[in-house]
Structure 1
Amino acid sequence: MSRISANGRRRSHPVVAAAVFVVLLLIAALLVRHYVVQPFRVPSASMSPTLQVGDVLLADRTTRGTAERGEIVVFNGRGYFSSASADGDRYWVKRVIGVGGDRVTCCTTDGEITVDGEPLEEPYLPEGTAPSEIEFDLQVPEGHMFVLGDNRADSTDSRHLLGAPGGGMVPVDRVVGEADRIVWPLTRRSAL
């Protein structure tokens, strides 16, 4: 039942107004999640110490489909890093080491990974961790990326899939977004 105000216009019922408000909020939240940011929970220690198990991070959806060296990205690994039936392992978070055209090699006599012949500086690696125990020398195909976890001793990443379909390379168009910040727990809240 509508009410009529003093000026003769109909006023909507408060319950209807609240319902419309809630629907608009839900639509706005869905749009933000699809186009702006999307939350993800870190399930493993593969990115430690940068990301810890249980951290909730926000992926910047405005950067989807792009990747630059050094970025931490969330990507859809289905068919590359996980089987099509393993929906729980669909999304992965790793650091981009090489992009299309880069030659990535492990390792120099000093044990460093090189990108296009230049040693890769990796201050994010846990102390005492080797850049890689697996040797490789590869060219990243155009439109793809080579990714590694920061915790190389406990990370399934491009190195482990070199002989698999796709050769461990993930198409850049699978990037959901760049990991922008940790939002939970509050004690670890920070930009990445």
Structure 2
Amino acid sequence: MDTEAQHTERDPSSDTEDGSRSARVSEDSAATPGRRRTALVAGACVAFLLLLSHFVMQPFLIPSRSMEPTLQVGDRILVNKLAYRFGSEPDRGDVVVFDGTGSFVREQPRDNPVTGLLHDGAAALGLAEPDETDFVKRVVGIGGDRVVCCDEDGRLTVNGVSVEEWYLMPGDQPSSVPFDIVVPQDKLWVMGDHRSQSSDSRDHLGSPGGGMVPVDKVVGRADWIAWPFGRWSTVRETPAFDAVPAAGHGAGPHG
């Protein structure tokens, strides 16, 4: 009985299709580790930036005109969180960022914790406006200081010494609201540089905290303007308070 080898014919195009499919699978397999590495590197970078922002240096977006001309709307400043970590405390003239909860605003629970978490992350990277409880102002009085507005020449006095506030917005008065206060220990009296546009300690004199900001609510000191590039600079220190004596060595409260 004759036997004849049976040959199976194969469509040549199937070889091409199989080859293409194999090539795609190989390419995808090769690309997957690359994509994973990219995702891991990106995730590590974001984690590093968040840790840096939380512990060392936080970007902060300026949302209002209250600190003009020193800081302008849209500026992104870098807040030095180590400035007051090793025994130092805010001093007169420092521009600080602080949590106003309990002093400037009442604490409000967030409706959506997920949205709040995303917002906090974006704000920590300077990509979103800060929480409504965060403020940036200039320290005018520290614990024990007597701050008065105004003297006969219309200037603030601190511990009996008149202060030349060259950093104020041109045309602004030091304050249109008279006041005479003594700052409690471990508290701060803060004001904006654009006094006519700033809601600051003056506006909270009748609040439970009397307009004073607890030192432990200070997030850090505004040291640099990082964006836009045309405004890249340090936040300049002011000599305005150099002649002010320590608390207790100036004029006391009115009798």
Please report the TM-score for the alignment, with normalisation by the length of structure 1: 0.87
Q: Does 1:129 pair with 2:149?
A: no
Question: Which residue of structure 2 aligns with residue 10 of structure 1?
Answer: none
Task: Tell me which moved more, 48-57 or 20-29.
Answer: 20-29
> What is the aligned-residue RMSD (CA, Å)?
1.8
Question: Which residue of structure 2 aligns with residue 81 of structure 1?
Answer: 104
Separation in structure 2 between the aligned mates of residue 80 and residue 64 of structure 1, nearest angstrom: 20
Q: Which runs of 5+ in 1 are unaligned?
A: 1-12
- Percentage of matched positions with identical amino acids: 47
**Aligned counterpart in structure 1 of residue 194 of structure 2, from 151, 168, 171:** 151
How many residue pairs align between the two structures? 180
Q: Does 1:52 pair with 2:72?
A: yes
Find the residue that maps to 2:222 and give its secondary structure: strand
CA positional deviation for 1:15: 4.9
**Aligned counterpart in structure 1 of residue 45 of structure 2, from 25, 36, 58:** 25
**Aligned counterpart in structure 2 of residue 175 of structure 1, from 209, 218, 224:** 218
Find the residue that maps to 2:224 and give its secondary structure: strand
Amino acid at match of 2:57: V
Deviations 1:156-184 (A, max 9, x none): 00011111110000001111110111111
**Aligned counterpart in structure 1 of residue 160 of structure 2, from 93, 117, 128:** 117
Cα pair 1:181 1:191 within 8 Å, conserved: yes
Find the residue that maps to 2:196 and give its secondary structure: helix
**Aligned counterpart in structure 2 of residue 62 of structure 1, from 82, 88, 99:** 82
Q: Which has the higher strand share?
A: 1
Separation in structure 2 between the aligned mates of residue 33 and residue 146 of structure 1, nearest angstrom: 26
Amino acid at match of 2:209: G
Find the residue that maps to 2:41 and give its secondary structure: helix
Task: Tell me which moved more, 62-71 or 73-82.
Answer: 62-71
Find the residue that maps to 1:63 and give its secondary structure: coil
CA positional deviation for 1:16: 5.0
Please report the TM-score for the alignment, with normalisation by the length of structure 2: 0.66
Task: Tell me which moved more, 116-125 or 84-93.
Answer: 84-93
Q: Which runs of 5+ in 2 are unaligned?
A: 1-32, 111-130, 236-255
Amino acid at match of 2:46: L
Separation in structure 2 between the aligned mates of residue 165 and residue 62 of structure 1, nearest angstrom: 29
1:28-47 equivalences in 2 (<5 Å): 28-47=48-67
Amino acid at match of 2:213: V
Cα pair 1:64 1:173 within 8 Å, conserved: no
Find the residue that maps to 1:62 and give its secondary structure: coil
Separation in structure 2 between the aligned mates of residue 155 and residue 105 of structure 1, nearest angstrom: 18
Deviations 1:42-93 (A, max 9, x none): 1111111111111111110112573110000000012211231287411100
Question: Which residue of structure 2 aligns with residue 4 of structure 1?
Answer: none
CA positional deviation for 1:19: 4.4
Task: Tell me which moved more, 151-160 or 28-37.
Answer: 28-37
Question: Which residue of structure 2 aligns with residue 105 of structure 1?
Answer: 148
Task: Tell me which moved more, 122-131 or 25-34.
Answer: 25-34
Separation in structure 1 between the aligned mates of residue 39 and residue 73 of structure 2, nearest angstrom: 38
